[in-house]
Structure 1
Amino acid sequence: MLATLPAGSRPSRPRRIRAGLTVSALALLAGCGSADRPLLPNLAGRTLDDARTAATAAGFTALTSRDLLRARAQLVASNWRVCTQTPAAGPVDGDVTVELGVVKTDERCPGDDTGLPELVGETLPIAEDAAREAGFPRFTSHDATGERLRLDEQDWTVCTQTPAAGTTDREVTVDVGVVKSAEPCPGETRAATSSAPTTTASPRPAPKPAPKPQPNPQRGEDRDDGDDSGSGTDRRTSEPDPDPPSKPRSGQSGHPCLPGERDGDNDGFCGEGR
């Protein structure tokens, strides 16, 4: 016997379960299943203070950090950058201790390059810094020619290095042989240099011949007047001396000779005895 519906009523339709609701429910159930394993974020590349904040916000409160290049304390966290993290990013037990490997923000992480760089030719401080920045914290040096102390490391230059450049084993100890910067490396010859300017001696001029003696134009030369009587008189060929010696006057009076007057006794006075 068929049931009849009241006038004006409609038959009810079966309800459909939406697929979206079903997927949401499954995701909720999956999330509840991993609630005891929080997700550790990727911290590599962040500054140390930022990495600590992100890890703490994710539920990880046990955090440690260590310098990957040398044993330096991380006093200012913003000056350090995260290179490695243990454990890796992903679901991790909440009570695990997260260890972060860090370097200074201006340094390279170990493994960022091809290994130990070439150190030969560098000064000792630069070589040590380059090795440590490349991830080789164990570094020693020795005098390549003796047992001298290296008090001022800036004055020493690297001649040899062990191991060779390109080594990637960062557990080895890097050892360099050094000499004074002004010295050649063992087995190497270096031309001596001087800071003083070089001078070239100029040739000496040839000595000039001594001048030949010339007759004195004031005195002239004595010559014989050709008198063979033995009472010859020497005469001057040049002008008389400007200041002839005074001669005794022969007269009782007179005056200095004027031009054209005859000086009979050659004493420079004329008109004597008049």
Structure 2
Amino acid sequence: MRTRTTAAALAGTALLALTGCGAETVSNKPAAPRTTPGTPTPTPTPTASKAAAAETASLSNMTGKGLQYAQDEAQAAGFYGLTSHDALGRGRMQAFDRNWKVCAQTPAAGKHPTDTKVDFAAVKLEEACPSKDADKPQPAGSTMPNFKGKSVKAAREVLDRAYSITVNDATSQHRIVFMESNWQICTQNPPAGTELDGRPVKFNAVKFNEPC
């Protein structure tokens, strides 16, 4: 009997020991909250400075100089917006700049922003500059302009492209008017001052070195 009691006591002690080893410890302390890395405070972007004013440079007086030389000199000074036109108003293109000379310029010589558009009025080397720049042909208004003495090309540029235009040799030679900038108008129909209403236009012309 004593042996059974002792064995039972030992078995109970062992069971308590095993239970104590396997039990989980529960803490009453609340778990620390789970955190994520914070977003850094944005650094203020420096205010962009205002765009610098356009640079200025000195534009020389190009009157009397060759057109090619004038253009090169203007570019060397910092001006790159260059253009040119026929100072006689004949609408000729300055295809070979070295064959043309400058009669006038816009703007005049002086200090200007380098992004200024520079326009040279020019004539061919063998021609005299006009007393007044003829400037580029402007579109016609509601009435027929007076084209007498003007080049056929300039007249064509003034009139709307939709107009039907016929050009005849005013002499008895019946020549074909090929290079229209080299021909001047002697007579026109309809006459100057007539309302432009779409009627066909007819010009009689001769070359510029010929009398009408």
TM-score normalised over the length of structure 1: 0.31
Q: Which structure has greater helix proportion? A: 2
- Structure whose CA Rg is larger: 1
Q: Quick one: higher RCO (CA 8 Å, sep 6+), 1 or 2?
A: 2
**TM-score w.r.t. length of structure 2:** 0.39
